[in-house]
Amino acid sequence: MKRPDTVYGRTIIGWREWACFPELGIPAIKAKVDTGAKTSCLHSFQQEFFERDGKRWIRFGIHPAQGRKDIELFCEAPVVDTRRVTNSGGGVEKRTVIMTPLTMGQLTWEVEVTLTNRDTMKFRMLLGRTAMAQKLVVDPKRSYVLGKDLAAVHKKILISGD
């Protein structure tokens, strides 16, 4: 596998990339790289809170592919926080925050992610500045710089429905 290009010791990525959340069981999802967003966010629906080992957790669904509500994955994660976040329309909403490993290309690192319904948005995930800090540099003219290996996984999900 080709090593990713770097500049100033940081990996170069495009304005959109394939991502994976291994601990959440999300094998492939398109992410829009958004330097205007401070925090990363992930599409979710049917959020349900519960306790496990004395800690607050959340169970939520995700439609990994735009326009395919028939394909659902369900995830669980410990809740890190609840925050007020300004959405793309300028409104303020309360969002649950989780911390989970994110894989893009050969890179895997812990990211803080807010959960919100992105059914009307083209991308199921936004990668915000905080997740990119000290690791990534964006080339806005390029797409899928870290590879399209996950595109085949995503296509398989679309065909099989799992």
* Start-end of H helices in 33-161: 129-132, 149-160
pLDDT of 14 reads 95
Of the candidates 43, 16, 9, which has an alpha carbon nearest to the alpha carbon of residue 117?
A: 43
Average pLDDT, the chain: 88
Query: Degrees (nearest 5) of the Cα angle 85, 86, 90?
Result: 160
Architecture of domain 6-155: Beta Barrel (2.40)
| The two three-digit tokens of residue 79, written as one number | 């809740």
Q: Region 34-43: what's the mean pLDDT?
A: 92
pLDDT of 111 reads 96
The tens digit of pLDDT for each residue in 73-101 reads 999 999 999 998 877 777 888 999 999 99
Give the whole-angstrom CA distance, residue 67 versus residue 70.
9
Query: Degrees (nearest 5) of the Cα angle 7, 11, 15?
Result: 105
